[in-house]
Amino acid sequence: MEDSNKKEQSGSTHKIGIYLWIWGLLFVLSFFSYLVDWYQFQGMLRWSLILFFMFLKAGLIMAFFMHLYWERYALVNVLLWPMTAIVCFICLMIAEGKYTLFSRLFYFFVGG
């Protein structure tokens, strides 16, 4: 417990302002992503806006609410590099999904 007592004194608490700012930003971003649906944007505009707001919100929560911005570099790396495996998986499944759809349509309507 010695360590964590020192930790508090070493200025690890942050000003309340930064939390309130992030909080406010999250509200505004959520509101914007709701507006994407409200105005019924379609196509690429819709998807890019959804992804943009999503990543911004996720980044803010992880960086400031979960303190990853102030966290040590080793932990940040341990947490973020495995995400590349998820990205690979997503890419694989996009290709697989297209192939499944193609073969379904092909066999349903053309009949082999």
Partner 1 sequence: MSDPKIEGFELEKGFKGMAQDTGSDQTMFKGVHWGKAMMWIFLLSDTFVFSCFLIAYMKGRASTPEEWPNPSEVFALDAFGVPVPLLLIALMTFVLITSSGTMALAVKYGYERNRKMCGYLILATALGGLTFVGMQAYEWSKLIHEGVRPWENPFGAAQFGSFFFMITGFHGTHVSIGVIFLFIYCYKVFAGHYDEGKRGWFTKMKGDYVEVEILGLYWHFVDLVWVFIFAFFYLW
Query: Contact 43/74 with Cβ under 8 angstroms?
Result: no
CA nearest to 72, candidates 12, 3, 23, 1: 12
For residues 18-46, one letter each, b for 16 or more C-beta atoms within 10 angstroms of the residue's C-beta and e for the rest, the string is: eeeebeeebeebeeebeebeeeeeeeeee
By the rule CB under 8 A, 67 interacts with partner 1: yes
Choosing from 42, 43, 44, 82, the residue that interacts with partner 1 (CB under 8 A) is: 82
Q: Minimum distance from CB of 12 to partner 1 (Å)?
A: 4
Q: Minimum distance from CB of 19 to partner 1 (Å)?
A: 5
Query: Contact 65/22 with Cβ under 8 angstroms?
Result: yes
Positions touching partner 1 (CB under 8 A) are: 1, 3-4, 6-8, 10-14, 16, 19-20, 22-23, 26-27, 30, 33-34, 36-38, 40, 46-47, 50-51, 53-54, 57-58, 61-62, 64-67, 70-75, 77-79, 82-83, 86, 89-90, 93-94, 96-98, 100-101, 104-105, 108
